[in-house]
Amino acid sequence: MGTSDLSTEEPTTPTGRSWRRHSAEFKTRVVELARQPGVSTAAVALANGLNANMLRRWVREADERVPSSAHKDAAAVPAFVQLPMPQAVPLALPPASVEVPSRISVEIRRGSTTVQAELPLDARSSAWLREVLG
């Protein structure tokens, strides 16, 4: 939609420092143009010699005057649809067959020295390993 498609009648500007007055028909046409999908409110305002903030206010006021059900499509569905859920069936899981090692093998190399140790998996071995690795 080009800028020329966004323009309606030319607003009348009275002389002096008074506010411009726009007819209800003009406001309605401009608001409808601004509501078109993909149309910028600012572009409609600019094409009609209006301030974009004023046009946004007109659109907001028009939305407040019209009941919210008038904006919705007649075929619109509710946002939440409750669906029937089947009863949860507990599953019997087989026991874990992963063997947990009871010992750990550690090999530490520092320079030409190699130390090998097989340690039980417990807190004392963990503390010793932290101390050795510093």
87-97 pLDDT, tens per residue? Answer: 888 888 877 77
pLDDT of 13: 57
- Global confidence as pTM: 0.41
3-class secondary structure, 60: helix
If 0-12 CB within 10 Å is exposed, 13-18 middle and 19+ buried, where does residue 11 land? middle
Q: Convert the pLDDT of each residue in 53-111 to its tens digit.
A: 999 999 999 988 876 555 555 456 667 888 888 888 888 887 777 777 788 888 888 89
Could you give the CA distance from residue 121 to residue 106 in angstroms, rounded to a whole number? 11
Helix/strand/coil for 119: strand
pLDDT tens-place string over residues 31-54: 999 999 999 999 999 999 999 999
Confidence at residue 68, expressed as pLDDT on a 0 to 100 scale: 59
Report how far residue 71's alpha carbon sits from residue 131's, in angstroms, rounded to the nearest whole number.
72
pLDDT at site 55:
93
Half-sphere exposure of 69 (CA within 13 A, CB side): 1
